[in-house]
Amino acid sequence: MAGNSIGNLFKLTTFGESHGEALGGIIDGCPPGIALDFEAISFEMSRRKPGQSAIVTQRKEEDEVQFLSGIFEGKTTGTPIGFIIPNTNQKSDDYSHIKDSYRPSHADYVYEQKYGIRDYRGGGRSSARETASRVAAGAIAKQVISTIKINAFVSSVGDIFIDKPYQALDFSKTESNPVRCPDEATAKKMEDYIKEIRKQGDTVGGTITCVIQNVPIGLGEPVFDKLHAELGKAMLSINAVKGFEYGSGFCGAKMKGSEHNDLYNPDGTTKSNLSGGIQGGISNGMDIYFRVAFKPVATIMQKQETLDVEGNIVEMQGRGRHDPCVVPRAVPIVEAMAALVLADYYLLFKKI
Amino acid sequence: MAGNSIGNLFKLTTFGESHGEALGGIIDGCPPGIALDFEAISFEMSRRKPGQSAIVTQRKEEDEVQFLSGIFEGKTTGTPIGFIIPNTNQKSDDYSHIKDSYRPSHADYVYEQKYGIRDYRGGGRSSARETASRVAAGAIAKQVISTIKINAFVSSVGDIFIDKPYQALDFSKTESNPVRCPDEATAKKMEDYIKEIRKQGDTVGGTITCVIQNVPIGLGEPVFDKLHAELGKAMLSINAVKGFEYGSGFCGAKMKGSEHNDLYNPDGTTKSNLSGGIQGGISNGMDIYFRVAFKPVATIMQKQETLDVEGNIVEMQGRGRHDPCVVPRAVPIVEAMAALVLADYYLLFKKI
Amino acid sequence: MAGNSIGNLFKLTTFGESHGEALGGIIDGCPPGIALDFEAISFEMSRRKPGQSAIVTQRKEEDEVQFLSGIFEGKTTGTPIGFIIPNTNQKSDDYSHIKDSYRPSHADYVYEQKYGIRDYRGGGRSSARETASRVAAGAIAKQVISTIKINAFVSSVGDIFIDKPYQALDFSKTESNPVRCPDEATAKKMEDYIKEIRKQGDTVGGTITCVIQNVPIGLGEPVFDKLHAELGKAMLSINAVKGFEYGSGFCGAKMKGSEHNDLYNPDGTTKSNLSGGIQGGISNGMDIYFRVAFKPVATIMQKQETLDVEGNIVEMQGRGRHDPCVVPRAVPIVEAMAALVLADYYLLFKKI
Amino acid sequence: MAGNSIGNLFKLTTFGESHGEALGGIIDGCPPGIALDFEAISFEMSRRKPGQSAIVTQRKEEDEVQFLSGIFEGKTTGTPIGFIIPNTNQKSDDYSHIKDSYRPSHADYVYEQKYGIRDYRGGGRSSARETASRVAAGAIAKQVISTIKINAFVSSVGDIFIDKPYQALDFSKTESNPVRCPDEATAKKMEDYIKEIRKQGDTVGGTITCVIQNVPIGLGEPVFDKLHAELGKAMLSINAVKGFEYGSGFCGAKMKGSEHNDLYNPDGTTKSNLSGGIQGGISNGMDIYFRVAFKPVATIMQKQETLDVEGNIVEMQGRGRHDPCVVPRAVPIVEAMAALVLADYYLLFKKI
């Protein structure tokens, strides 16, 4: 209700600001007896963290997850898994320049208006750093639904996009380049473009496509909690996301029914999959795929007008951390959120 | 959890199949003392119901809402509002032809697989008729947040779209034409196109844009329950919806930060509004606007292959109800869902 | 949140005032494929309804449950079960005498203070008639957990109580007398006492004991949702209930650990069962038993002081319906609430 | 759902085993702008912790609460408050003797059966140490509802009980003796009795009475979430609790309506208060009072039969920590749980 939880049977609640002592969360409802792969968790954390390559922010964050409960001799016990991720790099003076002003297209102003108080050190709770907790929990969720395969990748940056269906891509190449685009030629173009944007002190948006395979038939609940509705909410809860479409998406809105219907094969699979693996809110066993739109990051290294707390328009220039394109780093976050949603529906599904 | 509720403080739970005795729902958490405008409720119901014009299905549904509790001498009492909408037009033999087959791109197959049993009369619980309960409850939600203005309209049908920003439109014209498009020239083109699609026995998709004005600053909860995330989920829960974008949406993913940032005026309003009235998941007082993509309705009046319960591919032709473009009828549903989400956040907001 | 729902996976939401058109509810999460025994449901409804014998109120309520959805060809479909129970006997003039006054130990005053408005016809939402919806839903819950046996009975009325352990009782005799006390000699004394109380125009309280047998090991969740905690809440939500104890209960608070510990048999059962079938909040397979205290009904047929809406103390005398001891009629309600709680935990249990 | 959360608007989720690295929790929904009194929090923690006096266990637990988020410059920010309480005293070898056996009247056996895995170091998640997180959160909840006064005290130990109404007691004396009984003569008797029990290597139960004063009229929700129902659930969720009664409680079940009804004063207060400050589930402004029964602690220092994991009955003797009467230490836990429930209802109440 107060917004910091997701899921019902597999439920994550998170806490933490970018510049407090630590972020963290509680996973409640993880099934017992799962022998956790801690290296897989570290790998996901490293995918999300800043400073991975020349095209992302160089700020270092050590994202070590410390598990405090719910795990005994390497296995989940069925009791809540509490974890923290210490903030090792906070310097309170970093943010003194934004103490008295509201950066454009950040949440500074609305937090101040809503709560009457604001942790002005970094983005506080609205910082993208908050997603570290999501990635940690998502890495566990992936292990809960280990037979389901989740692959996200960058499908566009600015105007540059992959001009192939996902079936033509080799997902094993996603991690082979800093842009996390499995099509190498497109990846190169994206990388060059991001470097150019970086030089300009600017930022650029992009899209991530996510493909979920090997999903059992029957995940999802009518009518308000349709599987794609919850996936959409989960994606829209990621910082900077402005849109979500699945299956035929916005293109589907231009089509005719005679083109759009997915005809059946005798085994219940469908010849086409414009439905995106979900019908009536329930998985039908075909691939689930969706696309998520990210706006450009608001912090740019150019001078901009901003509003100070006394109502004056003043000029400000971003400092320190420059993340010209956050989309590559958002790939593990998209996968984590998908895993959290699927784990929740999967546990519910098992019970009927 | 089991999927038939939306909201927390203003909570709607619905029940009902298309061909049972009645649909209905319970609104739990409606504030006391609201003198309900029952004509406004009837008006919303009439906007959703089939048979309104030449371009929609001619099936008649009498959508009279009967309130059974929670209202005393015309005012809400704060106790749950139970309501039913009788199904006056169900004929059990109507659907005998689909008893033994799974229509393409309907939920027949997944319901059978998930539950092992299916009410084959019409779409059962997955029928669009279910949205009647949403519209009834949404009409009350609108009265709870009466200072907030919600205007949805059809912004595209197939390839035809309104080529103007919403600020150039007169929302009072939305109801003046059967397509519910406030731009009259575009409306005429859409209507002609839908008539043509109807002759073909086909269907077509489209998009609805929704503009929410006069929203207080501060609605929305970080981090998982961001206002736009919940709006997105609510829209994606409507039958046939394939996509949701707000503010700059998918276009924003192509932009640079220097173009996308919304600079402040001294009063805290912003010069541009690519953010779509929401920053960090919290309303900032500017207009909220979003766009929803609807695929074409699956039931077409052409012959199609379908799958029968014994695993044979057989030919089937849709009968009876032909709804060539469901998008105009979805306009009040989009508004209802927006109202339900806003009412819920509004009540939560009041308490902080 | 707003108080009219119970359960998570097997969830009941109810609506309805004593003098509106109908009461009812929605059961969300009932598993599919259960062939419902409608006679069993009617039987439970008849146990609850007034006018069953000389010792209860003679007001007639026809408590016919009309199911509107979620059932197809006699079986549950997994979609929400909507139901209504029409109020056939409401006369709006019955209650004119209480329109302007707050009856002592009723909810009239607090409703007026909380909501600023009150449906003064009968108890409105706080009427015991609301429990009709609980009994209807509980009758379905019993069928969901059909292997678990739930037996409640009246264990005391005023100072008269059964002086035997429950193991010495024959539950099949509970329905053989109007007091619902399986010990016939005690039942006779109770009946005589209630008749005397009736003559005095007074009312009397009592206790109900409930025994739940054949419970699987493992129902219940640590730490806040312990099985007995949820059972306690469910019982305390019944009108007029003032206390709940399970296992050794308040007597246990006087004992020593060396007396109270339940020693094991080699098969994991225990020699004694002071724990009441629950350890650490989780069922251990032994009988669950608890006791519920009901205060005397507030409506008496004697003159009493009351408070009018203008702040005057005035004399009032109850009229019409006299229910000298509500405890026998509460037996099916206790069973229904127990069944609702157990069904919810049972569905959750199935998934781990 | 999975049991480790309480509350809706003021919501606590906890994690942690007795012998893991740390316990902790997240408070989601704490209103912003509250200047926290950290000494008051430490005081509550010290009241709960073992080793306070000669009559309780001498095991030392340092219960220092570390707040990790949601507080900025000493004030709450409205974002989630994450906190941990390190386990400074765990020694893994302490519990080797219970690794292979199920202690009588502990949760060892049911955890093993339910989850198939068990953290055998101490009680794991079922350890009373888990209540440290509750006390920390309750100390904050008390500050959210600072005008409401909550006073719990030990009202009986074994057969020794306070023979006065609570109105005759001076709550400021509760902390003046190790038994937390405000009646000094009774306190002395209790203390002597507990010392005797201690010498026997045995344990004894008792009851706590809690009085809540200065409650606004209108807290509580009909019908399932009645204020006393939620209070009851919260109390029953505390380890070792076997019963709950409020107002007249079990005694009320013996009374007549003519004795039990609380007649009004002209100002809406009542002359008597057998209702216990709650009518129809809603606070009426009078004192709320209830009584909670605790069974004796299961761990005794005498030889007892126990069950080993191979199904043999073996003899075992408790070691190390002997807590002859846990009831005095449970006083701050009862207060904490009451504060959590009241804070949740209070926030909801403010919104109507």
CATH number where D239 lies = 3.60.150.10
CB contact under 8 A, D78 and B347: no
Residue D145 in contact with partner chain B when CB distance is under 8 A = no
CB contact at 8 A, A280 and B109: no
Distance from CA of A325 to the nearest CA of C (A): 41
The residue among C10, C64, C68, C95 with the most chain B CBs within 10 A of its CB, best to mutate, is C68
**Cβ separation A350–C351 shorter than 8 A:** yes
Distance, in Å, from the CA atom of A235 to the CA atom of C41, rounded to the nearest integer, reads: 44
Q: Which residue has the higher pLDDT, C53 or A38?
A: A38
Query: CA nearest C9 in A: which residue?
Result: A348
Is the pLDDT assigned to residue A95 strictly greater than 80? no
What 8-state DSSP symbol labels residue D39?
H
Structure tokens belonging to residue B250: 């998918």
User: Which residues 243-262 in chain C show a CB within 8 A of chain D?
Assistant: 243-250, 252-262
Cα–Cα distance for residue pair A30/D257, rounded to 1 Å: 50
Q: Give the Cα separation of A141 and A134 in Å (integer).
A: 10
- pLDDT tens digits, A52-91: 776 666 555 568 999 999 999 999 999 999 999 999 865 5
The nearest CA of chain C is from the CA of B24 a distance in Å of 8
Interface test with A, best of B119, B204, B224 (most A CBs within 10 A): B224
Query: What residue ranges of chain D have pLDDT lower than 70?
Result: 1, 54-62, 89-97, 320, 351-352
**Of C31, C78, C351, which is closest to A347 when you measure between CB atoms?**
C351
> How distant is the Cα of A35 from the closest Cα of chain B, in angstroms?
28
Give the number of other CB atoms < 10 A from CB of residue C86.
Answer: 18
Q: Which of residues 118-137 of C touch B (CB under 8 A)?
A: 118-119, 124-125
CA C320 – CA C8 distance, rounded (Å): 39
Tokens of A260: 């759009």
Q: Which of A46-50, A262-266, C24-28, C149-153 has the lowest mean pLDDT?
A: A46-50
Interface membership of C351 toward B (CB under 8 Å): no
**Nearest residue in chain A measured CA to CA from B282:** A110
- Count up the domains in chain B and report the number: 1
Q: Which strands make up the sheet holding B11-15, listed edge to edge?
A: B5-6, B11-15, B22-28, B81-86, B66-67
| Cβ–Cβ below 8 Å for A260 and B296 | yes
Q: What is the pLDDT of residue B317?
A: 78
A327 upstream amide cis, omega within 30 of 0 = no
pLDDT of amino acid C197: 97
Helices (H), chain D: 38-48, 108-115, 131-144, 184-199, 227-236, 249-252, 257-260, 327-351
Of C14, C266, C282, the CB nearest to D313: C266
Closest Cβ–Cβ partner in C2, C11, C115 for B2: C11
CA distance linking residue D240 with residue C226, whole number of Å: 12
Taking CB atoms and an 8 Å limit, are A78 and D117 in contact across chains?
yes
**How many C-alpha atoms does D25 have within 13 Å on its Cβ side?**
23
Q: Return the bridge partners of C85, or none.
A: C23
Q: Which residues of chain C have pLDDT under 50?
A: 351-352
Residues 6+ positions from C169 with CB-CB distance below 8 Å? C153, C162, C182, C183
Phi, psi dihedral angles at C185 (to 5 degrees): -65, -45
- Res B93: pLDDT: 53
Neighboring chain B residues of A243 at a CB cutoff of 8 Å: 243-246, 249-250, 252-253
Say how many CB pairs under 8 Å bridge A and C: 22
Q: Does the annotation place D240 within a ligand binding site? A: yes
Nearest chain D CA: its distance from C11 CA (Å): 12
- The minimal CB distance from A5 to the residues D28, D69, D117 is found for D28
- If we measure between CA atoms, which residue out of A204, A17, C223, D127 comes closest to residue B252? A204
CA distance D280 to chain A (A): 26
CB-CB contact of C17 with C125 (8 Å)? yes
Of D104, D246, D247, the CB nearest to C263: D104
Which of B9, B26, B125 shows the shortest C-beta gap to C15? B26
Query: Hey, is the C-beta of A57 within 8 angstroms of any chain B C-beta?
Result: no
Nearest to C128 by CA among C315, C306, C294, C343: C294
D contact test, residue of A36, A88, A114, A117 with most D CBs within 10 A:
A117
pLDDT reported for residue B61: 55
- What DSSP letter does each residue of A279-342 carry, written as one string? ETTEE-SSPEEEEEEEPPPS--SSEEEEEETTS-EEEEE--S---S--HHHHHHHHHHHHHHHH
**What is the pLDDT, as a whole number, of residue D19?**
83
A239, A254, A296 member nearest B158 (Cβ): A254
Q: Which chains touch B (3 or more CB pairs under 8 A)?
A: A, C, D
- Whether residue A101 is predicted with pLDDT greater than 70 in this model: the reply is yes
CA nearest to D79 within chain B: B222
Binding-site residue positions of B for FMN: 125-127, 239-240, 280, 295-299, 321
The binding site of C for FMN comprises 125-127, 239-240, 280, 295-299, 321
Residues from chain A that touch B159, judged by Cβ atoms under 8 A, are 254
d(CA C67, CA C215): 29
The distance of C130 to chain A (nearest Cα, Å) reads 27
Tens of pLDDT, residues D273-328 = 999 999 999 999 999 999 999 999 998 999 999 999 899 999 987 776 789 999 99
Is residue D221 less than 8 Å (CB to CB) from chain C?
Answer: yes
pLDDT for the residue D334: 98
Nearest chain A CA: its distance from C223 CA (Å): 9
SS3 D141: helix
Chain D residues with CB-CB distance to C226 below 8 A: 3, 236-237
A282-283/A206-213 β-pairing = unpaired
Answer whether C258's CB lies under 8 Å from D300's CB.
yes
Judge whether D122 is annotated as a binding position: no
What does the pLDDT read at residue A351? 59
- Touching check for B236 and chain A: CB below 8 Å? yes
Question: Is D258 marked within a binding site?
Answer: no
Mutate to test the interface with C, among D4, D98, D208, D264 (most CBs of C within 10 A): D264
Least CA distance to B144: which residue of chain D? Answer: D352
Rounded Cα distance between C17 and B197, Å, is 50
pLDDT of residue B62: 65
Q: Tell me if A115 and D33 make a contact (CB, 8 A cut-off).
A: yes
Cross-chain residue pair A32–D125, CB shorter than 8 Å: no
Report pLDDT for C142.
98
Whether the pLDDT of residue A171 is over 90: the answer is yes
Q: Is the ipTM of this complex over 0.85?
A: yes
Query: For residue A100, what pLDDT is reported?
Result: 86
C236 vs D8, D113, D229: nearest CB? D229
Q: Is D129 annotated as a binding residue?
A: no
Chains contacting chain A through 3 or more C-beta pairs under 8 A? B, C, D
In chain D, residues with a C-beta closer than 8 Å to the C-beta of A124 are: 72, 77, 79
pLDDT of residue C240: 97
Q: What is the pLDDT of residue B121?
A: 81
> Which amino acid would we find at residue A288?
I
Per-residue pLDDT of chain B (352 residues; tens, 9 = 90+): 579 999 999 999 999 998 889 999 999 999 999 999 999 999 999 999 877 776 666 555 568 999 999 999 999 999 999 999 998 865 555 566 678 889 999 999 999 999 999 888 877 888 889 999 999 999 999 999 999 999 999 999 999 999 999 999 999 999 999 999 999 999 999 999 999 999 999 999 999 999 999 999 999 998 999 999 999 999 999 999 999 999 999 999 999 999 999 999 999 999 999 999 999 999 999 999 999 999 999 989 999 999 998 999 999 877 767 899 999 999 999 999 999 999 999 999 875 4
Which bin fits D49, alpha (ψ -120 to 50), beta or left (φ > 0)? beta
Q: Each residue of B238-272: pLDDT tens digit?
A: 999 999 999 999 999 999 999 999 999 999 999 99
Domain that holds residue B105: 5-351
Alpha-carbon distances of C199 from A225, C194, C195, C320, D260, rounded to whole Å: 56, 9, 6, 14, 18
What is the structure's pLDDT at D119?
84
Evaluated on CA atoms C329, C334, C340, C343, the torsion sign reads negative
Q: Do A351 and C9 touch (CB under 8 A)?
A: yes
Of B16, B76, B82, the CB nearest to C69: B16
CA atoms within 13 A on the CB side of B133: 32
CB contact under 8 A, D23 and A115: no
Structure confidence at residue A326 (pLDDT): 94
